[in-house]
Structure 1
Amino acid sequence: MKKIWSIFLLTTLLISCTTTNKHINTTDYIPENASVIIQVNNLESLKSNLDNNDILENLGNSAFYTKLKKQLANLKHLNTSNPLLVCFNYDKKDSLQYTVITKQTPGLFAIDSLKNIKIESYVYKNLSINKSQIEKNITYNTFKDSLFIASSSKELLETSLVTTNKDEDLKTILKTSDTKKPFSILVNNKYKQPINTVFVNDSISFNSFTNYTLVDADINQNAIILNGITKATDSTKSLINIFKNTLAKENKIANIAPSNADGFMSFTFDDFAVFNENLKQFNATDSIPTNHTLFDNVIEIGVVYQGSNQAIILNSLDVIATKDALLNEQNLVETYRQIDIFSFSDATLFNQTFSPLITFKKANYYANINDFFVFTNNKETLENIVANYQNKTTFSEKEYYKSTKEYLTDASSLLVVATPSSLKNIINKNINESLNLNLNLKDYKTSALQFVYDTNFAHVNAVIKKNETKARENSVTEQYNIKLEADLINNPQLVTNHITKQKEIVVQDINNNLYLISNKGKVLWKKQLQGAILGEVQQIDMYKNGRLQLAFTTPNRLYVLDRKGKDVAPFPLKFKDKVTQPLSVFDYDKNKKYRLLVTQDKNVLMYDAKGKTVKGFNFSSAESTINHQPQHFRIGRKDYLTFKTDNKLYILDRVGKTRVTPKKKFLFSNQALYLYNNKFTTTTKDGKLVSFSTKGSSTTKNLNLGSKHHLVTTTKTLVAQTENKLTIKSKTLDLDFGNYDTPKLFFINNKIYVSVTDLQTQKVYLYDSNGLLQNNFPVYGNSAIELNNIDKDRNLEFVTKGENNAILIYQIN
């Protein structure tokens, strides 16, 4: 299976996997000879990350992926939140087949209601097997030992049902996966070759490099980070074991490798004699290089790739001893920038000694640069290395290399670093077809693959990461563009992660799926709700232990969800009568003794955090429909609960009795009530500002607002918008004519910000309290924004809609 990159992508269609019940291990059903096994721990996070990743998204243009995606189409109908295993095999005709294993749950494979479906059943070994044909795609599936097992191959399914997988090495390494990561990939080289190569050098086959490799994948929009282990069970026939009984040393080739090279490889050891003996056993040779003393004090060897040219670099612990080993190679050719360049007579030495790691046979020149000895096939390549070293333009001096190195350990047995051109070559070697990809790799300045040998296995770290250019001061930069499966039904909202104290995003799509998304753009979970969320999601600490829950209403439910998206008992509460306003949450004394208020037309129901009706709250009903969600204010030591209809304002105490009776009647708009200048303030339907004192007296002010307007205030700052007029305090701004969403007011770090979005031109504007437009605004956006510091840096970020199914995260620098 030569297309491992495509396998990454294909997982977006998959849904199931690894669970063990009391008696059965799911790994027993892994088909024999499986070349790739994908353990999916968080399907929604996986699908989102893969859909949004810059490289993987564009790799979908390959013909192989398109064909296999069609073959796997039936799996999109799986519906489960359990982990899963997806196994890939080649059949006798060399066609790729899949098998899926997951815990049996109701409605797991819901296809009965689909059109163009044909289902046939037959019995095999007392098990009923369904052959499901959806359009032209066929899936065979059954249930056994509380597991759902499905396959694209009848033969593969039947064999896995009666044959227990006996590969204990495979099962053991699979157990080392990190279940907190969205998914893990196990590559099994013992059968059909899954990967051609992961090296710049074509001579190093991944098939002969190791037997099993398992990596946990962490993927976001701009990076693929892989961490795991690799293990070769045959100690002499796998190249990774040449590092056995050696200690990895710090890789320093980046200190001399020029940044204009195509990449480099570095391998290290603490004892050349041990390393050399291991390599001879791998190559099954007893030959001894004629100049073996050259390597006695060397602890690192590197290969720098530059077009068709290469350079071999030795990192010596004892420069004088290494020079002594070169006493017979003192024929001076020239001096370049005070560095002597000598000819070298043993051009094939490195290939003879280090094959297949090194295939270079043209070491005709060399020079000593501090601790490094550099061998090349021409003077120009050597001069380029000297010039870059002296100019401090090596990889180690570049910020993009330093950024990549943060994901690696300092010491590697083997390190491969690739520039954009080399990365593209490696990808194409594995895709094995000519691609016309809309893929620009120029921002992936440095990708790296690292192996660190440890006893009888090696740690693996891989980084394919977009270079993040330093944002200039006062700029507004788009950090993430998160695409979801369906169009959004509401605006993205920020909520608090009680563990990290940072912000995350909640949003709902038109299929009523609620998503929780990290501030790095990763979908943490997806949950389908019964209806659309009304208004905003609230957060409560119902157990008073610092852990926050999400609380909200839909037209017939009151939900409380924990951090993982699970319902918190006894919620959801179900209602026969329609809920007509967003959930209101009151915490009168800031002691987490919550009151949850549900509005149903004229009526208000009050519950405590345990879902029980609050006794003593005696508000019967309003005279007409309540046009805004209930609100709570604290003035001095008194609580004020307010309910508002089109023609009446109710100002009550905690038990629902009238506390303030307005002395004058008005026709109210549906805007919220605010405590502005110590008075209850809202607007009338004809756009006037009306305020009520705690004695019930009222004042009005004509703000020249039209019938369609918006109001938002703090205690002393008022913001109003109507048509193309935006008023901030006493200043009125003339906006371009458009269709404006509700303005938002934010008080952050003792500064007030006001935002407004023109939905017609899709522009987001951000002002300060003096009505001054902030630098580099407007920016693209398709909804009202949520502004805050969502991470640990000092910059503010905001979220907004992008395209209909996308969320944008911006940073204000």
Structure 2
Amino acid sequence: MKFFYSSLLLFLILSCSKSKHERSKLIHFAPENASLILKTNNLEGLKSSLDNNDFIEGISKSVAFTNFNENLELLKYLKPTSETLICFSENDSDSLEYTIITKYSKELFETDSLPNYIAETLTYKNRSINKSTINKHVFYSIVLDSTFIASTSKLFIENSFNTKPLNTNLEKIYSTTNSDKTASIILKANKNTFLKSFFINDTLLFKTFTNYLAIDTDISQNEIIINGITKDSDSTKSLINIFKNTIPQENQTQNVTPPDSDGFMSFTFNNFKIFKKNLIKFNKKDSLISATTLFDNIIEIGVIYKDNDKAIALNSLDVIGTHDALLSEQNNIETYRQVDIFGFSTPNLFAETLSPFITSNTFEYYCVLDNFFVYSNSINMLQQIIANYQNKTTLSQQPYFLDIKEQLSDQASLMLVTNPSALQTILNHNIDNLSKLKLEAYKTSSLQFIYDNHFAHVNGIIKKNKVKASLHSISEEFNIKLENDLLNTPQLATNHINKQKEIIIQDVNNNLYLISNTGKILWKKQLHGPVLGKIEQIDIYKNGRLQLVFATPNRVYVLDRNGKDVAPFPSKFNDKITQPLSVFDYDKNKNYRLLVTQGSNILMYDVSAKIVRGFTFKNANNTIISQPQHFRMGNKDYIGFKTENKLYLLDRTGKTRITPKTNYNYSSEAIYLYNNKFTTTTKTGDLISIDTRGNVASVNLNLAEHHHLETTSKTLVTLSENKLTIKSKTIELDYGNYTKPQIFYIYDKIYVSTTDLQSQKTFLFDSQAEMIQNFPVYGNSIIYLDNIDRDRDLEFVVKGESNSILLYQIN
């Protein structure tokens, strides 16, 4: 997969100019001295991604990050509904200031219930400024042109009233960011820049490398993927512009890099003379000190790092021509594995020619490996390079490198690849007092710059590499923690765009979340009460786009893909809804019927939230204890539900279609269609079957009073105390507190699951009552099993700790 923006589109964006002063975009309100601007369309998703990402979690323990986070107290209380900017800058006393900019709405900042909140109103030139204090953190805010601006700097808020010329360079770079990613980051290189260097060699400083860096970040639990652009208005002052008028070539330094190296840096060009000319301008030299033809046929120069040693790999297009340039350098030092190692008489050549990329003067030895001319300060390092190259065990052959390579471009002007040690070194360049991180699983990370017309594309990846799962193993894909405890069980829903599955969950504050199958929070929505039962999906517009539909005790909701209410919903009910919402599509033509149960009454609505007048059922003889179900037998429809002592089977209009000839004291278990009969249980554990003529059969299954029943058309499953029965085969489990069994039919195979909440173990069986290999696993709820992504492996979602969601994969 390659991350390239359209060159034409970016050229148009970056080339256009605007001179007007009208502030119509959020970026127009950003502080002029902002060194870092963070943009997100999903603040809740961003906070969750930062909390759950394994790499960021390690960094978050640093003093710098803690102070950084504490200063953003306001973010905990904001509920923006659209794009939000968080801008960071330093004032004249080098203190960190932050500014938050978003569109104003009534729900944005509700202060009524905030503890330790103090509000004041200040006046500046007949304008009002709000001063707010939350837990001793002070910030100032205004609403200007329907835009909410809050800042720790009172001076900036005062200056916001004054209209100034727009920063067109910033606006152009901002226009290239993508609103669909977790967040976009714009970094400006100045004296107070947050990023010092992203290279192993810390002499390559960000402030001399470029002017603006704009990257979109996609953050999941185990990886951070970035892509974007970088640009400088002055082509002679920034290092990135030495690639101007050159064409990126395929990076091949990994083909000679040992797997235990710290990493490498590779820079490529199609014409060294142009590259050299640009480098001379950058270094402000009249000419290079040493004249040589060594680089004439070179298209890539790689620097390989290992502890205190380095090697330089020159990738030649014309091996014979490069050999000719070295005719005077044939002093054979030794031969290793039939490869000659020569002395090199001008070890300072690379520093003189390629500074600041290379600053060392100690490359005294070299060897030739096919099209690579490899130089080093260490014979031992050359021997390791030769051995790995001959054994085909270089970095390019390693699974962890091949894994990240899928996210990168094959050709890059500049490419950096690091191992965990080098990654730690780079982090130490940028974050003060950073303790040693546990980065062993991040075997390879990479950053690329691909020079284009007046700008460069940027790709990067930091990924936790997984050990390849063995057959039939159960691997934990992610563990997502929410701010609050979970209220109910994680469910799965279909993403109608990519046909994959996503996760729905509600917390104890009645916030409903939609989470991607990579663990990214897509949205969060406050509901009026807990969701009753399972959330269903419907296609209300009959256009292939799916909506979520469900009930809470006093509302019926229909939400679109983005968590927005679909009019005319939500419908409000004064009387309490007592069963989960039932959704019927009688003829599979998407003319949905929504059944609302209130005590002994059932109301039927259409998708316009209007009562269906043709449904005439009045009320049951008592409180309805099971969710109404729809069954189809032959060409007839049946609606089934029950009270404690009566079972109802109605037609579409609500009239009685079947009257059971015998009634019982029924359990609260659902009604199922099993072996073409309506099937349920009594309180005493008898299995009750009713045919279409109302004949009733009772079978004593010796079930305890607190039992569970689940069936498909041909498979019956019961759970009574510690006895799980699947198709007449009984398994005696350890005594515990078991959830209702679930039946899943996937890839022509039946699976049965239950979870012991006491021992926190989730079990999965096949239709022959045999436990699936490597179960039980840790879990705290019923599970939802399905294939949630593009591969054939099954996954299941389950509650973990009180506030966490686990996703497992069955390999």
Partner residue, 1:127: 127
Range with bigger deviation, 284-293 or 258-267: 284-293
Which of 751, 758, 761 is the matching residue for 1:760?
758
1:769 aligned to which of 767, 778, 781:
767
- 3-state SS of 1:524 partner: strand
Correspondence for 2:241: 241
Contact in 1 for aligned 2:186/2:213 (Cα 8 Å): yes
Conserved in 2, the CA contact under 8 Å of 1:99 and 1:157? Answer: no
CA distance in 2, matches of 1:518, 1:22: 38
CA distance in 2, matches of 1:495, 1:604: 26
Deviation at 1:182, TM superposition (A): 2.1
Structure-2 residue corresponding to 1:631: 629
AA aligned opposite 2:57: E
State how far apart, in whole Å, the 2-side matches of 1:296 and 1:573 are. 75
Matched with 1:445 is 443
Shift of 1:147: 0.8
Does structure 1 retain, via aligned residues, the 8 Å contact 2:187–2:193?
Answer: no
Would the aligned equivalents of 2:59 and 2:434 in 1 still touch at CA under 8 Å? Answer: no
Which residue in 2 is equivalent to 1:192? 192
The answer to whether the 8 Å contact 1:29/1:161 transfers is no
Aligned residues: 792
Residue 29 of structure 1 contacts residue 164 of structure 1 at CA under 8 Å; is this kept in 2? no
Please list, as runs of the form range in 1=range in 2, the aligned pairs for 1:211-226 lying within 5 A after superposition.
211-226=211-226
Matching residue within 802, 805, 809 for 1:804:
802
Deviations 1:88-118 (A, max 9, x none): 1101110110011111110322123322222
Q: Which residue identity lines up with residue 61 of structure 2 in the other structure?
A: N
Paired with 1:628 and 1:434, the residues of 2 have a C-alpha distance of 57
Q: 2 CA distance for matches of 1:586 and 1:188?
A: 56
Letter in 2 for 1:351: A
- The answer on whether the counterparts of 1:596 and 1:608 sit within 8 Å (CA) in structure 2 is yes
Confirm or deny: 8 A CA contact 2:644 2:665 kept in the other structure.
Answer: yes
Distance 2:191 2:343 in 1: 46
1:398 and 2:388 matched: no
What is aligned with 1:270? 270
Q: Could you tell me which residue of structure 2 aligns to residue 56 of structure 1?
A: 56
Q: Secondary structure at the match of 1:208?
A: helix
Deviation at 1:609, TM superposition (A): 1.6
Measured after TM superposition, the shift of residue 190 of structure 1 is 3.3
- Contact in 1 for aligned 2:582/2:594 (Cα 8 Å): yes
Q: Which amino acid aligns with 1:229?
A: I
Partner of 1:547: 545
Deviation at 1:289, TM superposition (A): 3.9
Counterpart in the other structure of 1:532: 530
TM-superposed CA distance for 1:191, in Å, is: 4.5
| Correspondence 1:508-519 to 2 at 5 A | 508-519=506-517
Q: Is the 8 A contact 1:312 1:375 kept in 2?
A: yes
CA distance in 2, matches of 1:761, 1:285: 72
Give the superposition deviation at 1:192. Answer: 1.7
Matched residue SS, 1:162: coil
Other structure's SS at 1:207 match:
helix
Deviations 1:306-338 (A, max 9, x none): 100000110001111111111111111111001
Residue from 665, 671, 674 that aligns with 2:672: 674
Counterpart of 2:625 in 1: which secondary structure? strand
Query: Per-residue displacement from partner, 1:517-544 (whole Å, max 9, x unpaired)?
Result: 1111111111111110000001111111
2:380 partner SS: helix
**CA offsets per residue over residues 344-396 of structure 1, 9 Å max, x none?**
01010000000000112101101111000011112111101001101111111
- Provide the secondary structure at the position in 2 that maps to 1:612: coil
Q: Deviations over 1:16-68 (max 9, x none)?
A: xxxx9996332221111110011111112212211110010121111122222
CA distance in structure 1 between the aligned counterparts of 2:117 and 2:590, rounded to whole angstroms:
53
> Normalising to structure 2: TM-score of the pair?
0.96
**Correspondence for 2:494:** 496
Q: Which residue of 1 aligns with 2:374?
A: 374
The 8 Å contact of residues 290 and 353 in structure 2, kept in 1 or not, is answered as: no
Match of 1:373, SS state, is: strand
**Which residue of the other structure, out of 654, 657, 665, is the alignment partner of 1:656?**
654
State the distance in 2 between where 1:628 and 1:285 align: 84
Secondary structure in structure 1 of the residue aligned to 2:626: strand
Q: Which amino acid aligns with 1:505?
A: I
- 1:164 maps to 164
| Correspondence for 1:620 | 618
Ranges of 4+ aligned residues in structure 1 off by more than 3 Å: 20-23
Match of 1:287 in 2: 287
Q: Any idea what SS the aligned residue of 1:628 has? A: coil
CA contact (8 A) 1:30 1:160 kept: no
Query: Does the Cα contact within 8 Å between 1:487 and 1:510 map onto a contact in 2?
Result: yes
Q: Residues 97 and 152 of structure 1 are in contact (CA less than 8 Å); yes or no, is this contact kept in structure 2?
A: yes
Distance 1:61 1:23, change over 3 A: closer
CA shift for structure 1 position 291: 4.3
Q: Report how far residue 497 of structure 1 moved.
A: 1.1
The structure 2 residue matched to 1:609, chosen from 592, 607, 610, is 607
Q: Is the 8 A contact 2:641 2:671 kept in 1?
A: no
Q: Does structure 2 retain, via aligned residues, the 8 Å contact 1:243–1:413? A: yes
Say what the alpha-carbon RMSD is for the aligned residues: 1.3
- 5+ residue gaps, structure 1: 1-19
Match of 1:557 in 2: 555
Contact conserved, 2:351 with 2:361, CA < 8 A, in 1?
A: yes
Distance 1:590 1:366 in 2: 73
- Matching residue of 2:573: 575
- Residue 645 of structure 1 aligns to which amino acid in structure 2? T
Corresponding residue for residue 361 of structure 2: 361
- In 2, the alpha carbon distance for the partners of 1:75 and 1:502 equals 32
Query: Helix, strand or coil: the match of 2:753?
Result: strand
Q: Which amino acid aligns with 2:116?
A: N
- Deviations along 1:457-502, one digit per CA (max 9) or x if unpaired, are 1000011011122211011111111111211111011111111111
How far apart, CA to CA, are the structure 2 residues paired with 1:160 and 1:373? 58
Moved more, 87-96 or 161-170: 161-170
CA distance in 1, matches of 2:510, 2:21: 32
In the alignment, what sits opposite 2:5? none
